Amino acid sequence: MFKSGFIAIIGKPNVGKSTLLNRLVGEKVAITTHKPQTTRNRITGIRNLENAQLVFVDTPGIHRAHTILNRFLVDTARQAFMNADLILCLTDAGKEPDEDDRMIFESLREMTVPVFLVINKIDLLKKEALLPLIDAYRTRYPFREIIPLSALKGFNVDRLIGCTVDLLPEGPPHFHPDLFTDLPERFLAAEMIREKLTLITQREVPYAAAVVIDQFKDDEAKNLIRIQAAIYVEKESQKGILIGRKGQMLKEIGRQARIDMEAFFSARIYLELFVRVRKNWTREARWLHEFGYGGKSGTS
Ligand code: GDP
Ligand code: MG
């Protein structure tokens, strides 16, 4: 008997959804940073077991949306959980639940598919605080399971996998068992660059940046991949920040991204980065679409 299904990972920004996805899959398919709203697309990560295939779908954090980029993020998250066999709703053990958490928990009451509450970041919680916390959730909401874990440290993730397999429907695998993601290489490369620039730059710059791969040439004979990528920002001033004094900032982003790419693609990488300005792209449907954040959810 083989089981397979789609599992949506949802929750507020920054609760650790992408970290959990990577832990569940055992590969870094999703970028993660300490800044909220790092994830912008639906990210699929596949865990292949002997008797099951678990297709996890990481989503942008759910929050009250203001710009159209933000609306796209929230819509992408909602679409993912409409099509799931199981929903993992994450919360951060280190923080009191707020309005946004409650909005998400309440909206899940109407779901017909089972929902697990995953209390993440228990490494930040005092041991004696855990049981009362679980009890409080159990009395308030109809979660099928409540699973405390640490995505970062890997505590209790096996239990989550076990409970997930139990609930999945019988069926053949949706993807080839060698795959751990359905995302194209170009998309993964662009995301690695976006992770580094998000970590290195300050204030609004990460939120104003999109990365587009202009060229991705795999020279298999030389085990070399040549990548040309453009970072788009909204203002000249942001372009200046990204390039930095004597180009130092851009060079550092490229250096760090290249290290990750070489490990991920098991090849030497020749990476060239350019910075371009598209005024107010986060507010214009045309540009959003161009940068992979429009139309149907997923990647471009
Ligand atoms: P997302 O926005 O929900 O996808 O959150 P990320 O996966 O990008 O993680 C947000 C931040 O929380 C990052 O700095 C992670 O390292 C951190 N984080 C994720 N899981 C854990 C955890 O189990 N324990 C701790 N202490 N930090 C975590
Ligand atoms: Mg994320």
Q: Is 121 in the pocket of ligand 1 (CB under 6 A)?
A: yes
Q: Is 151 in the pocket of ligand 1 (CB under 6 A)?
A: yes
**CATH of range 185-290; options 3.40.50.10490, 3.60.15.10, 3.30.300.20, 1.10.3720.10:** 3.30.300.20
Burial class (CB in 10 A: 0-12, 13-18, 19+), 43: buried
pLDDT digits (tens, 9 = 90+) for 197-206: 999 998 899 9
31 CA: nearest ligand 1 atom: 8
pLDDT digits (tens, 9 = 90+) for 136-150: 999 999 999 999 999
pLDDT digits (tens, 9 = 90+) for 20-66: 999 999 999 999 999 988 888 889 999 999 999 999 999 888 777 66
The full set of domain ranges for the chain reads 3-167, 185-290
Q: Is 16 in the pocket of ligand 1 (CB under 6 A)?
A: yes
CB-CB contact of 87 with 116 (8 Å)? yes
CA atoms within 13 A on the CB side of 251: 5
32 CA: nearest ligand 1 atom: 8
Residue type, 189: A
Cα–Cα dist 134/165, whole Å:
22
Q: Is 198 in the pocket of ligand 1 (CB under 6 A)?
A: no
Cα–Cα dist 173/181, whole Å:
13
Nearest CA-CA partner of 41 in 156, 161, 153, 187: 187
Q: What is the pLDDT of residue 65?
A: 66
Q: Which helix (H) or strand (E) holds 145?
A: strand 145-148
CB-CB contact of 79 with 6 (8 Å)? no
pLDDT exceeds 70 at position 217: yes
For residue 267, give every residue at least 6 positions away whose Cβ sits within 8 Å of its Cβ, in sequence order, or none.
218, 223, 224, 225
CATH architecture observed for domain 3-167: 3-Layer(aba) Sandwich (3.40)
pTM: 0.89
Average pLDDT along the chain: 91
Closest ligand to C-alpha of residue 62 is 1
Neighbours of 203 (CB within 10 A): 9
